[in-house]
Structure 1
Amino acid sequence: MIENGFTYLALLMMIGSAIVYSEKKSQHKLFEYLPSIVIIYFVVMLFSTFGLWQKSESVTATYKTVKSNLLPAMIFLMLLSADMREIFKLGKKMLLTFFLASVSIAIGFIGTFTLFHTYFEPNSWKAFAALSGSWMGGTANMVAIQGALDLPDSAMGYTLLIDSIDYAIWVMILLALVPFAKKFNLWSKADTSVIDEVGERLALKEDEKKPIDFASLFFLLGSALFVSALAQYGASFLPTTPFLTTTTWIVIIATLAGTLFAMTPLAKISGGSELANIMLYLIVALIASRANFAELTEAPLYILAGFVIITIHVSIMILFAKLFKLDLFSLGVASLANIGGVASAPILASAYSKALIPIGVLMAMTGYIVGTFGGLMVGKVLEIIGQ
């Protein structure tokens, strides 16, 4: 049983690096269907279930400190390889897809509650309303709706249970689907020329970069950590609302910094993507370390309801993908920007292309704006159904 924070962190790093090294050296077919990031998530969650580490004060402090400090640094480094002038060419389509995802999630909640509400306690609609706020925005929206609807803290346990388990599995599925993007796009007849063009242009820019060297890596690492520190310091002075929490401000500042510096000579320094990926894989391992397969035996009806919501959401998205010729990247990032928020949408976007990370961040930010209002609207409908 690991109780020391540094040992816990070192083990996560070792697990992640060993899996990535195996993918690179073995070239096993398993990695064609399950990317290393998915396997890391599964393996770490499995160890968490077996209780390899304890949520001691040291481990919890390490988790919070490393995750909160690395997230803005990772976003900054990843955005250095993105040119917003190219990204804006995708903006309209992505935003429309985002709102399609929001509406389909709302329909999923309404349809699921209509089917299952007689099996839940009378005021269960409040828990689902709070969850809908989270799945159309983020945790801040969930808390805002909890206060607005006077949802007891004890009832929030069900909401958090669905949010953690169903969301975790959905992230794994979306990441595992990345290799099948081309086949899906052929089926939906999606035009990915704009996305492909951006990727090709960025590939050419990558070719122009100089080889990675020690000085470059050191300077980029120092810059990223310094931006992370400044973002957190600056965010502490900014006003907060249910929509704009301190964490949201930190992400916004890091995003703006990365976007601005992407147009400076700093973006031409090699090694940013590699450092960002190390941080990314560690963050994913940290997230998985707080999950637990044993929780699948608790409140099975609530967990099932969460999967039904996602199934309805996915069915509607696939239907509109065929009708409007949408690509898998747009659908996946729009879905995760709603359900996962700002911490996970960029992760999925990066699995497709580092150039598309800003879209994931911006779409997740949109979720913070619409999540509370959307959740309250869904809650009103659920209340009517539950009467």
Structure 2
Amino acid sequence: MISSDPVILGIVASTLGAIFYTSQQQHVFWQKLYQYIPVMVMCYFLPSLFNAFGLIDTSNSQLASIASRYIMPVCLCLLIISVDVHSLLQLGPKLIILFLIGAVGIVVGGPLTLMLFAYFVPETLPWNGADAVWKGMATLAGNWVGGTANQLAMKEVFQVGDNIFSIMITVNVVFSALWMSFLLFCANHSAKIDVWLQADTHQIEKLQQSACHLKTSTKKVPSLNDYMSIFAVGFGVMGLGHGVADFLAPFFSHHYPALARLSFTSEFFWIVIVVSLVSFGLSFTKVRQLEAVGASKTSSLMLYFLIAIMGLQMDVTSIADFPIYFLIGAIWLLFHAILVVIVGCMMRAPVAYMAIASQCNLGGAASSPVVAIAFHKSFAPVAVLLSVFGYCVATYMAWLCGELLKAVTP
């Protein structure tokens, strides 16, 4: 098994190059393949096969940390600086409503799922002790509404055992990956789905037209100086985010530890907050003109590396180890999805709204922009804002879910 990070990174880069090369071929095989499996999904799933077949060992790899802490903030910055704030505000409240509905689907869907298993197969699950199934599900609720910090907070709140906690981490990784792949597939067919749903896409079209106008009206051939400016802004804002996070996270952890429930003690939380706010402010300045010289293309390059590195963490073969818990996760996720789709159809919301709202719940700030960009790059700031909001409310909602899970436990 290959465990060297430089070698793994080289394999990832070669894989991405092969995917993009074959996606441009005119042969009927490649045309059909990428018609049903979009490039973004291929970039995610193909690296996961290296892990599944034992070709690569990422247990001690630092690539995932580098991707989430360095590549993702730079990518976010370059996407946000070109956003049209006015058009963004015209999207209306549907996204927020769907996000909250998705969170409710997780909080309520967990207890309903547990009730089904308690009624039909009560003997297959542990109900008491530190490794009780309801305790593990409470931690998963924290991750699915917010993120890893919220999941860790629930572990401490409910005194969850390490065995059930590790199982739920695996369930989260697998289903978050599978669900994101499904949403990316939907993005590739969003126009047909919106027509079938008779969705109102008026506001999305306005946002897309605004973004396209900025890209085409001032587009020019980028120079070396332009690329240097892009990297200076992206990595400069990333560095600022880390600097502030290195100060604020320990400060709140030492002086206000109770605010851990709001993720104030998480460095990643502050990195996302600072990068988003600074980039948002820069979008009102001349820095926004970097979009005309390839800021979004540079961010897309980083984004695909981020997607591939995330794919390396997924091991689909782990489903066979704990099938009952993965079945719980599947049914629980189904409750969430059905509720989001029903409310979305009632509001005639586009599939982009449903997908982004759902991924902001299940994936958080690290992956929600990936799904958002699959529909349109202008959605990335919205996805980040919703994900950050999820971090703030996730601990409370997960605690409520945990109490409901405990109440329905036989």
Taking structure 2 as the reference length, the TM-score comes to: 0.90
Separation in structure 1 between the aligned mates of residue 59 and residue 282 of structure 2, nearest angstrom:
39
Given that residues 336 and 344 in structure 1 are in contact (C-alpha distance below 8 angstroms), is that contact kept between their aligned partners in structure 2?
Answer: yes
Describe how 1:173-188 pairs up with structure 2 within 5 A.
173-188=182-197
Residue 252 (structure 1) aligns with: 273
Separation in structure 2 between the aligned mates of residue 107 and residue 31 of structure 1, nearest angstrom:
37
The runs of at least 4 aligned residues of structure 1 exceeding 6 Å deviation read none
Once the 2 structures are TM-superposed, how far is the Cα of residue 68 of structure 1 from its aligned partner?
A: 1.6
Once the 2 structures are TM-superposed, how far is the Cα of residue 91 of structure 1 from its aligned partner?
A: 4.8
Given that residues 167 and 340 in structure 1 are in contact (C-alpha distance below 8 angstroms), is that contact kept between their aligned partners in structure 2?
Answer: yes
Separation in structure 2 between the aligned mates of residue 189 and residue 263 of structure 1, nearest angstrom:
35
Separation in structure 2 between the aligned mates of residue 268 and residue 5 of structure 1, nearest angstrom:
36
2:143 equivalent among 134, 154, 157: 134
Structure 1 unaligned regions, length at least 5: none
Residue 329 (structure 2) aligns with: 306
Residue 177 (structure 2) aligns with: 168
Change (3 A) 1:384 1:297: same
Separation in structure 2 between the aligned mates of residue 303 and residue 83 of structure 1, nearest angstrom:
41
Residue 228 (structure 2) aligns with: 218
Check if 1:30 corresponds to 2:36: no
Separation in structure 2 between the aligned mates of residue 319 and residue 65 of structure 1, nearest angstrom:
38
Given that residues 232 and 250 in structure 1 are in contact (C-alpha distance below 8 angstroms), is that contact kept between their aligned partners in structure 2?
Answer: yes
Per-residue CA deviations over 1:313-364 (Å, capped at 9, x if unaligned) read 2222222222221110110000000011111111111111111111100111
Check if 1:72 corresponds to 2:90: no
Check if 1:326 corresponds to 2:349: yes
Per-residue CA deviations over 1:284-327 (Å, capped at 9, x if unaligned) read 11111122122121100100111111112222222222222111
Given that residues 133 and 374 in structure 1 are in contact (C-alpha distance below 8 angstroms), is that contact kept between their aligned partners in structure 2?
Answer: yes
Change (3 A) 1:148 1:91: farther
Given that residues 146 and 393 in structure 2 are in contact (C-alpha distance below 8 angstroms), is that contact kept between their aligned partners in structure 1?
Answer: yes
Once the 2 structures are TM-superposed, how far is the Cα of residue 56 of structure 1 from its aligned partner?
A: 6.3
Given that residues 68 and 366 in structure 2 are in contact (C-alpha distance below 8 angstroms), is that contact kept between their aligned partners in structure 1?
Answer: no
Once the 2 structures are TM-superposed, how far is the Cα of residue 376 of structure 1 from its aligned partner?
A: 1.0
Check if 1:97 corresponds to 2:98: yes
Check if 1:6 corresponds to 2:11: no
Taking structure 1 as the reference length, the TM-score comes to: 0.95
Report SS of the residue matched to 1:29: helix
Letter of the 2:94 partner, please give it.
K
Given that residues 188 and 321 in structure 1 are in contact (C-alpha distance below 8 angstroms), is that contact kept between their aligned partners in structure 2?
Answer: no
Given that residues 91 and 359 in structure 1 are in contact (C-alpha distance below 8 angstroms), is that contact kept between their aligned partners in structure 2?
Answer: no
Given that residues 2 and 57 in structure 2 are in contact (C-alpha distance below 8 angstroms), is that contact kept between their aligned partners in structure 1?
Answer: yes
Once the 2 structures are TM-superposed, how far is the Cα of residue 17 of structure 1 from its aligned partner?
A: 2.3
Separation in structure 1 between the aligned mates of residue 318 and residue 107 of structure 2, nearest angstrom:
25
Separation in structure 2 between the aligned mates of residue 62 and residue 105 of structure 1, nearest angstrom:
30
Residue 120 (structure 1) aligns with: 125
2:393 equivalent among 361, 367, 370: 370
Given that residues 83 and 263 in structure 1 are in contact (C-alpha distance below 8 angstroms), is that contact kept between their aligned partners in structure 2?
Answer: no
Q: State the Cα RMSD in Å.
A: 1.6
- More displaced stretch, 288-297 vs 141-150: 288-297
Given that residues 137 and 338 in structure 1 are in contact (C-alpha distance below 8 angstroms), is that contact kept between their aligned partners in structure 2?
Answer: yes
2:295 equivalent among 260, 272, 276: 272
Report SS of the residue matched to 2:189: helix
Letter of the 2:215 partner, please give it.
E
Separation in structure 1 between the aligned mates of residue 194 and residue 3 of structure 2, nearest angstrom:
47
Given that residues 190 and 326 in structure 1 are in contact (C-alpha distance below 8 angstroms), is that contact kept between their aligned partners in structure 2?
Answer: yes
Given that residues 188 and 374 in structure 2 are in contact (C-alpha distance below 8 angstroms), is that contact kept between their aligned partners in structure 1?
Answer: no
- More displaced stretch, 82-91 vs 157-166: 82-91
Separation in structure 2 between the aligned mates of residue 63 and residue 201 of structure 1, nearest angstrom:
34
Separation in structure 2 between the aligned mates of residue 382 and residue 165 of structure 1, nearest angstrom:
22
Structure 2 unaligned regions, length at least 5: 253-259
